[in-house]
Amino acid sequence: MKLLLDEMYAGLKEYFEALGYEVLTVHEAGLKSAKDKDVVEYAGKHGFTLVTQDQKPAELAELTGVKHILVSNAMIARIADQEIKKKYS
């Protein structure tokens, strides 16, 4: 699977690659500071799943049928909660 990492997740590239993903950051794609619409269009056109923290590109992806993952604060809290309970319960 191919992932396009939005700007805030560029530092995770090596981690996803270690997990077996083909990864491109928006910066590498020439989309640094690009409009959300352009990032979503690029992901769709090139067969990437967009990984973002921002609601707007996630909503645009949803509207246009582009694969995406919205890493929300709630998602992070749920993961942290599971790990805390597993480790300290």
Q: What is the pLDDT of residues 27-77, one digit of tens each?
A: 999 999 899 999 999 999 999 999 999 999 999 999 999 999 999 999 999
pLDDT bucket at 89, cuts 50 / 70 / 90:
confident
Tally of domains in the chain: 1
Structural domain range at position 79 = 2-88
User: Do residues 70 and 49 make contact, with C-beta atoms less than 8 angstroms apart?
Assistant: no
| Confidence at residue 3, expressed as pLDDT on a 0 to 100 scale | 98
Domain containing residue 83: CATH number:
3.40.50
pLDDT bucket at 8, cuts 50 / 70 / 90:
very high
Q: What is the pTM of this model?
A: 0.91
Q: Read off the pLDDT of each residue in 8-23 and give the average, rounded to a whole number.
A: 96
Count CB neighbours of 57 within 10 A.
23
E strands within the chain? 2-5, 22-25, 49-52, 68-70
